Amino acid sequence: MAEYQAPLRDMRFVLNEVFEANKLWASLAGTRDTVDPETAEAILEEAGKITASLIAPLSRNGDEEGCSWHSAGVKTPKGYKEAYKTFIEGGWCGLSGNANYEGMGMPKMLAAQFEEMLYSSDISFGLYICLTSGACLAIDAHASEELKQKYLPKMYSGEWSGAMDLTEPHSGTDLGMIRTKAVENGDGSYSITGTKIFITGGEQDLSENIIHLVLAKLPGAPAGSRGISLFLVPRNCVDENNVVGENNKVTCGSIEHKMGIKASATCVMNYDGAQGWLVGEVNKGLAAMFTMMNYERLSVGVQGFAAAERSYQNAVEYAKDRIQGRSPAGVVAPSKEADPIIVHPDVRRMLMTMRAYTEGSRAFSTYVASYLDRAKFSDNAEEKAQADAMVALLTPIAKAYMTDRALDSCVAGQQVFGGHGFIREWGQEQLVRDTRITQIYEGTNGIQALDLMGRKIVANNGKLYELFVKEVSDFIEANSDNSAIKPYLESLAATIERLSDVTESVIKAAASDPHAIGAASVDYLELFGLTCYAYVWARMAKVAAEKVAGDSSGFYDAKIKTAKFFFNRLLPKTVSLSESIKSGSADMMSLDEACF
């Protein structure tokens, strides 16, 4: 298996050349004094080194050994505690944390590149870090000043970690059904009682304390999701001097035995009258939790294509080394008894598909992160409002489309290895197993599709969609005289027209057909995802075309050739997806239930 190397050249390309991050950060009130080109470059360089040298070597053993449960808690695999200690000493846990509470205050566009490196090196290790970052976001946005002062510095330092506790045995996506209860103690705190399942990092032996964000209901709360409140519940009690004491009646009942991410503890958590504190307003817990959800869902999308990047690196190295058969165009390696398999068109098809989707995902995730940065750091009300709207529209696509294509890419990488791809020692089958979860947690991809089609498109009659169409249309119009990218712009324009036609069709159908949204949603998200990738690939092709003439490294030429592959071989899928969506719900719903 190839040793992981962070794709820093491509990260710099999307950050600095395509989306001009430094110009954006200089324009935002919350980042102009925090990050500059030199700082960003130093962070990328050091992140590349620490993920490749410290974390990537843990992945194989972490998968082999996994986590183990015992009555005193959860033990992580050999090497994790030592690596975690080294990692937090570098200050990495607070990279995007609020500088007022000892975080570094870095923007999401930069943090997304860091998360990619973290997840490429070892998804399981990365989850412990990124769940803490997500919990910090919710605390920073909604908790009282007292709670922020008490908990955020320790969480940003990595001394304490974070976990989010939503799901219960009987309640998955429908959180309105939760039974965990909260009762006022009369001193500003609450007593929390209930059981949560599938809690990533709910228990581990890496950090001194674990700060749980727990959804629960107060007595007499409104039914359904309108009655959910959010509580901060530390695993261990913390006194007024921030000294960690005895257990806070928070215990791990067991851990799940999973097909992948085995070094990440997925826990059943029991709260037996644990002391907690309200985060945000009573009965507004779901809204508070969703502050971190947009970031976490983008993070899961990044997690997916990060694994695909690792699979691609492995597959390329193998395809260049493994000899089998001869090139259809004639012998390539006459001194060997066969040619490297990279000469064969089908192997090229798999590698180019992986490359096009992975590079497209990196660009798209950076694009979405740019709107998260505008929404968080801008002092312009109109810019913030538009950014919030774009984040709402694009988040389900970022989570679902990137992870769907990531699993496809990991499977393709496994296939390049042939029989060896099925063997544990080569590492490809682990990436397939690890990546599979990304389509499930943080809201399954089917739920993401329903959210996009129902809440983000039909519910507002396409108003959010119009923001995206205007941006793409403006890009096409602004570059209409650019002959170097004319073919891409023509394909992009046709794709936008196709997506707009389908959008209008589903909105109209939903007025009379209760199944229209659900029947269209998954195909619609894929169609929208392909359109988004066409947009970012057109932007990448524009930059590459401007710089290819003076480039001796071949980087920009490779970018143009990958863009051509995407537009000619992958984007045409939008035609069949469009026809499928417009066929409606009748064929899907007509078969009687008894016939299944």
User: Which is nearest to 216 in space by CA: 225, 207, 204?
Assistant: 225
Indicate the DSSP class of residue 330: S
Contact 166, 296 (CB under 8 A): no
Computed over every residue of the chain, the mean pLDDT equals 96
pLDDT number for residue 66: 98
Catalytic residues: 442
What is the Cα–Cα distance from 466 to 457, expressed in whole angstroms? 10
Q: What is the mean pLDDT of residues 17-34?
A: 97
Q: Give the count of beta carbons closer than 10 Å to the beta carbon of residue 338.
A: 15
Confidence category of residue 88, pLDDT binned at 50, 70, 90? very high
User: Residue 158 above 80 pLDDT?
Assistant: yes
pLDDT number for residue 309: 98
Q: What is the mean pLDDT of residues 543-548?
A: 98
Q: What is the mean pLDDT of residues 528-532?
A: 98
Contact 362, 562 (CB under 8 A): no
Please tell me whether the overall predicted TM-score, pTM, comes out greater than 0.95 for this model.
yes
User: Which is nearest to 510 in space by CA: 461, 445, 447, 446?
Assistant: 461
pLDDT number for residue 466: 98
pLDDT number for residue 366: 98
Q: What confidence tens digit (pLDDT) does each residue in 375-395 have?
A: 999 999 999 999 999 999 999
Conformation bin of residue 441: beta by default, left when phi > 0, alpha when psi is -120 to 50: beta
Residues 6+ apart with CB under 8 A from 372: 108, 294, 295, 298, 387, 391
Q: What confidence tens digit (pLDDT) does each residue in 464-523 have?
A: 999 999 999 999 999 999 999 999 999 999 999 999 999 999 999 999 999 999 999 999
User: Residue 52 above 80 pLDDT?
Assistant: yes
- Exposure pattern of 345-373 as b/e (b: 16+ CB <10 Å)? eebeebbbbbbbbbbbbbbbbbbbbbbbb
Confidence category of residue 64, pLDDT binned at 50, 70, 90? very high
pLDDT number for residue 2: 81
Domain boundaries, the chain: 444-589
Say what percent of the chain tops pLDDT 90: 95
User: Residue 341 above 90 pLDDT?
Assistant: yes
Q: What confidence tens digit (pLDDT) does each residue in 170-207 have?
A: 877 777 789 999 999 999 999 999 999 999 999 999 99
pLDDT number for residue 348: 98
- CA quadruple 360, 366, 367, 369: dihedral positive or negative? positive
Confidence category of residue 71, pLDDT binned at 50, 70, 90? confident
* C-alpha to C-alpha distances, 305 to 158, 312, 360, 432, nearest whole angstrom: 25, 10, 10, 11
pLDDT number for residue 173: 72
Query: How far is C-alpha 287 from the geometric centre of its chain's CA atoms?
Result: 20
